[in-house]
Structure 1
């Protein structure tokens, strides 16, 4: 899988409102046409990090070296302090964060009319 195809999958997953590659490039702040070059090349670490930050994913995911099925640890993702919590309590916090994230996505889609 090329970096371009990975980035386009991220767009489809996280920002389906950006219908064209050009609109995606503008939203991220990339040069026009740069994403198409990633069919045969790899972006610099700085540019890949810019893309990762835009989608709130790891740079490894942008480069395609991290499985898309891997569920990121919400404790790390949201930098939650778990000091003093039991393992069961930490698991409950993770479940609540996943629920809140999915609810937020659902509400955004509904507001946008995607349902």
Structure 2
């Protein structure tokens, strides 16, 4: 599916004629139709993506997922770091979380410890993004 086909599909789904979309975005007549044969500038593709609240990757056919990943705020980052510290402290406590592969985090070598911490941090970030996407009301989404 071409870039134009994806734009047309989204416009049809939202009941917006291509000519009206071009007017709303300040583009010339038939600009979007020319995307069938010509490559557009990235700023025009970005305008369309922003208007429909989809990712550029979706418009370019790099992904089938229309949704834009929710961005984490400074507060989210702070919460992730707090939770990560709690988990790390729990792993270091013999009465805390279960030992990792029969070891407690303090007994691990530096490389294993860093890999575990990085994995935990990535998991917390992913969980935060999923929860923001799932539980943020549509009216508050970008």
Q: TM-score band (shorter)?
A: 0.5 to 0.7
1:98 is matched with 133
5 Å-filtered alignment, 1:49-60, equals 49-60=46-57
In 2, are the aligned partners of 1:3 and 1:62 still within 8 Å (CA)?
yes
TM-score for both structures, normalised by structure 1: 0.62
Please give the per-residue CA displacement for 1:50-81, whole angstroms capped at 9, x wherever unaligned: 222222333333232x212376432xxx3423
2:65 maps to what in 1? 69
Which stretches of structure 1, 4 residues or longer, exceed 6 Å deviation after superposition? Answer: none
Task: Determine if contact 2:55/2:68 at 8 Å carries over to the other structure.
Answer: no
Larger Rg: 2
Matching of residues 2-81 of structure 1 within 5 Å: 2-12=2-12, 16-18=14-16, 20-64=17-61, 66-69=62-65, 72-74=68-70, 78-81=71-74
CA RMSD of aligned residues (A): 2.8
Secondary structure of the corresponding residue to residue 33 of structure 2 = helix
1:71–1:7 Cα change, 3 Å: closer
Q: Decide which moves more: 24-33 or 4-13.
A: 4-13
Is the Cα–Cα contact under 8 Å of residues 11 and 18 in structure 2 kept in the other structure? no
Which runs of no fewer than 5 residues in structure 1 stay unpaired? 106-115
Output the TM-score relative to the length of structure 2. Answer: 0.53
Q: How far apart, in 2, do the equivalents of 1:97 and 1:12 lie?
A: 28
- The aligned length equals 97
Residues 3, 42 of structure 1: 8 Å contact kept: no
**SS of residue in 1 equivalent to 2:133:** helix
